[in-house]
């Protein structure tokens, strides 16, 4: 696909995602019934869970593109990894911000050592170091490789982190254990959640494609600028 097509697809998906977000908001506030035990605060669930799904999904893309980038050294893979990381970071941040809001109301505390919460926080920091190393080198090629290494190690370590934080909870059970979601979910809740998931996915893919094309343009500009400087200097 050409760059223009990518950009158009990205914009279309982002617009769809934005419309979807309005729909989700309407469903969350006016349509879906209130959950019995967790009360009104549970409605944030329809934003929180899709964000979580995207944050981990995006990190999968980052790791995959990074691994293939180290192998093939194709710039496009690095740009895709970068775009996915930025999108993932946005949703990871949403997840971290909405989590404590929910926890404050239903568990009575801003922060608990609930494993998924901890895992998310660590994921956020792995994303953070991904950007940190990328910009901390004199030679940008090296920064790209470093970031790729961080992405790969991050995705390898995440299962272990998940196991360890989950295992920790079994030692110290939380006073409030999450109700298992899924099959017991009310159909209207399930529909809302699905619409939320679809919306988040579209928004992410839209952002991803737009960010990707912006990065393409940015690198072209950089290249032309250094080219012009070299021509002047010679």
Q: Which residues bind other proteins (CB under 8 A)?
A: 70, 73, 118, 122, 125-126, 128-129, 132-133, 136-142, 145-146, 148-150, 152-154, 156-157, 160-161, 163-165, 167-168, 171, 219, 222-223, 226-227, 229-230, 234
Nearer to other proteins, 139 or 184 (CB): 139
Nearer to other proteins, 45 or 59 (CB): 59
Nearer to other proteins, 102 or 124 (CB): 124
Question: Smallest gap, in angstroms, from Cβ of residue 177 to other proteins?
Answer: 20
Nearer to other proteins, 9 or 93 (CB): 93
The set of residues, in sequence order, having a beta carbon less than 8 Å from that of 109 and lying 6+ positions away, is 103
* DSSP calls for 189-217: HHHHHHHHHHHHHHHHHHHHHHHHHHHHH
Phi-psi region of 74 (alpha: psi -120 to 50; beta: other; left: phi over 0): beta
Question: Smallest gap, in angstroms, from Cβ of residue 100 to other proteins?
Answer: 19
Is 204 in contact with 50 (CB distance < 8 Å)?
no
Question: Smallest gap, in angstroms, from Cβ of residue 76 to other proteins?
Answer: 16
Nearer to other proteins, 43 or 144 (CB): 144
Question: Smallest gap, in angstroms, from Cβ of residue 36 to other proteins?
Answer: 35
* DSSP calls for 24-45: HHHIIIIISPPBTTTBGGGGGH
- 227: phi then psi, degrees, rounded to nearest 5: -60, -45
Question: Smallest gap, in angstroms, from Cβ of residue 66 to other proteins?
Answer: 10
Is 87 in contact with 204 (CB distance < 8 Å)?
yes
């Amino acid at each position: 696909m050409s760059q223009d097509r990518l950009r158009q697809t990205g914009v279309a998906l982002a617009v769809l995602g934005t419309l979807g977000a309005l729909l989700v908001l309407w469903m969350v506030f006016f349509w879906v019934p209130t959950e019995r035990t967790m009360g009104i605060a549970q409605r944030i669930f329809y934003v929180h869970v899709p964000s979580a799904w995207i944050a981990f999904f995006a990190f999968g893309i980052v790791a995959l593109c990074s691994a293939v980038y180290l192998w093939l050294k194709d710039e496009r893979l690095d740009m895709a990894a970068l775009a996915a990381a930025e999108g993932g970071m946005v949703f990871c941040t949403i997840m971290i911000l909405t989590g404590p809001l929910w926890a404050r109301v239903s568990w009575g505390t801003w922060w608990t050592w609930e494993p998924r919460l901890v895992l998310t926080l660590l994921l956020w920091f792995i994303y953070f170091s991904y950007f940190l190393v990328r910009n901390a080198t004199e030679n940008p090629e090296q920064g790209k490789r470093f970031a790729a290494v961080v992405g790969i190690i991050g995705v390898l370590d995440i299962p272990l982190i998940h196991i360890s934080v989950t295992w920790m909870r079994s030692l110290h059970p939380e006073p409030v254990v999450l109700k298992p979601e899924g099959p017991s979910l009310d159909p209207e809740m399930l529909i809302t959640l699905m619409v939320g998931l679809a919306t988040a996915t579209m928004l992410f893919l839209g952002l991803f494609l737009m960010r990707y094309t912006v990065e393409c343009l940015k690198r072209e500009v950089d290249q032309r600028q250094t080219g012009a400087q070299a021509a002047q200097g010679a």
